[in-house]
Chain A
């Protein structure tokens, strides 16, 4: 409860700054229009005209909120203008990619921890894979898959998986290696097999690390899905909204789609946070 005041102050400050920036950036257009009509408007006349432009350089907060609201509540969810519709398209690719990426990440981490050759060979490739700009590789993935007849959700999901497996690998390797020498020695005195050591010690010890990775991974998966919608000029999805917004100079639409993506990411991360709290509490580690 104590956080309410500081949080509202910060939000209020951001909104005020945003309005200030919007007035400042959108004023040029107002002055241009006035100059063409041979007028020089006073500052007080400019301000009202900067707040509700149709194609502002920077939309004001209330424009973005009302566009979001129109997009979410103002349409049938099946409509091409509904943000729920586009959001779902992106979300489904995100979730599929996230599941694939997480599964691959966990399997790779298990291999890396148990096999020295994999430790030496896989990790450098995993790191190298993430240094390639996704914007460069996404169109290739889409085009190559399209040419072999794979279209729709799968190519986007693969880009999501490509981005989300990495934090999972890194986190899980760290988590599976978290048990110290003493704990491993203890199991050796019981004559535990490698499989038992994994099931009874390494896996449970890695759970907190897994959740930390999942939060990063799911946000990365969403970015992947959106990026995957850009190169084909996709007709649906939040990425498509961003793209068509920028074709037609619809800045309000771009910002609404950006906020929709941010809200989506925040909800996904929050959901994983909830699962984390419940799991750790069940495991006796939530305090």
Chain B
């Protein structure tokens, strides 16, 4: 229903978005003048130094924060309405699975809250477990799984109710490099199979370049966008694409964008 109504709408549209936190030490400009359009099916990475407002932007999209200036629409709706229309799933840095629920029970959680019928819940849980390659693990408890598997389960939980936007805030930040590479590959795979729009926050340049169709480079105080890079890489990306000249060239541009933001800072 949400897809057919406004097929031409971009997934996320921010116009001169600003967000100022009033704190005891005076106002903090977490975001200023952020203008960005994210199309359907895009994989967009947000990269930038700590405190540049990446999390704040994602939380605004999810209606967890409310911008103080500008406009923001999600699937053509205000973020609050988009939440009710189940437009997005949020994946946090920590898996945050409930220790008292099995993996299947955890994935069922949003479905229970949204009131899906029981039979459909079972069917969806089985489907997304397969999607993140956790087929046989539904009856296990979180502590019986490795950190990487737990994070996959949390992605499955965000996928379960068919949101077409996935908001991921450093989802693999706490994992080691090898597991991270695996999950990056799987995430690309999942993205190409499902056609979701993904907003992905990271601190890693290779991760951002490897995954994204667009890379948004940000800088802090006030948090703003310094560069938006459209990736020329093909959608199909084996891990060794990271050694190609194109890949290195984009990495270089991201690095320069980050450096520019920093020099502005001092």
Q: Residues of A with Cβ closer than 8 Å to B?
A: 182-183, 185-192, 196, 200-201, 204-205, 207, 283-285, 287
**Chain A residue contacts of B247, Cβ below 8 A:** none
Q: Kindly list 6 other residue pairs between chains A and B, CB separation below 8 angstroms, not including A189-B90, A190-B161, A205-B100.
A: A185-B59, A185-B64, A186-B90, A189-B62, A189-B89, A201-B98
**Chain A residue contacts of B83, Cβ below 8 A:** 189, 191
B143–A287 CB distance below 8 A: yes
B113–A200 CB distance below 8 A: yes
Contact of A190 among B98, B101, B113, B141 (CB under 8 A): B113
Contact of B100 among A183, A188, A190, A204 (CB under 8 A): A204
B96–A186 CB distance below 8 A: yes
B96–A284 CB distance below 8 A: no
- In the A-B complex, the 4 residue pairs with the smallest Cβ-Cβ separation, listed nearest first, are A284-B141, A283-B100, A189-B90, A190-B113
B94–A284 CB distance below 8 A: no
A183–B96 CB distance below 8 A: yes
Give complex CA distance A205, B109 in Å: 15
Contact of B64 among A189, A192, A207, A287 (CB under 8 A): A189
Q: Residues of B with Cβ closer than 8 Å to A?
A: 59, 62-64, 83-84, 88-90, 92, 94, 96, 98-102, 109-110, 112-114, 141, 143, 161
A285–B99 CB distance below 8 A: yes
A187–B113 CB distance below 8 A: yes
B62–A200 CB distance below 8 A: no
B100–A285 CB distance below 8 A: yes
CB distance from B116 to the nearest CB of A (A): 12
Give complex CA distance A182, B100 in Å: 17
> Can you report 18 residue pairs joining A to B where beta carbons are below 8 Å apart?
A182-B92, A182-B96, A183-B96, A185-B90, A186-B96, A190-B109, A190-B110, A190-B113, A191-B83, A191-B113, A191-B114, A200-B109, A204-B98, A204-B100, A283-B100, A284-B99, A285-B100, A287-B143
**Chain B residue contacts of A190, Cβ below 8 A:** 109-110, 113-114, 161
B99–A196 CB distance below 8 A: no
**Chain A residue contacts of B101, Cβ below 8 A:** 284
Give complex CA distance A185, B96 in Å: 11
CB distance from A84 to the nearest CB of B (A): 39
Residue of B nearest to A180 (CB): B96
Residue of A nearest to B105 (CB): A284
Residue of A nearest to B109 (CB): A200
Given contacts A189-B88, A200-B113, contact A182 B94 (CB under 8 A): yes
B113–A196 CB distance below 8 A: yes
Give complex CA distance A205, B98 in Å: 9
Contact of A186 among B92, B99, B112, B143 (CB under 8 A): B92
Residue of B nearest to A185 (CB): B64
CB distance from A99 to the nearest CB of B (A): 25
Give complex CA distance A183, B83 in Å: 17
**Chain A residue contacts of B143, Cβ below 8 A:** 287
B141–A192 CB distance below 8 A: no
Chain A CB within 10 Å, residue with most, of B83, B98, B112? B98
Give complex CA distance A188, B92 in Å: 13
Give complex CA distance A163, B163 in Å: 50
**Chain A residue contacts of B112, Cβ below 8 A:** 200
CB distance from B169 to the nearest CB of A (A): 10
CB distance from B250 to the nearest CB of A (A): 31
CB distance from B97 to the nearest CB of A (A): 10
Given contacts A182-B94, A200-B112, contact A188 B99 (CB under 8 A): no
**Chain A residue contacts of B99, Cβ below 8 A:** 284-285
**Chain A residue contacts of B84, Cβ below 8 A:** 191
Give complex CA distance A92, B94 in Å: 47
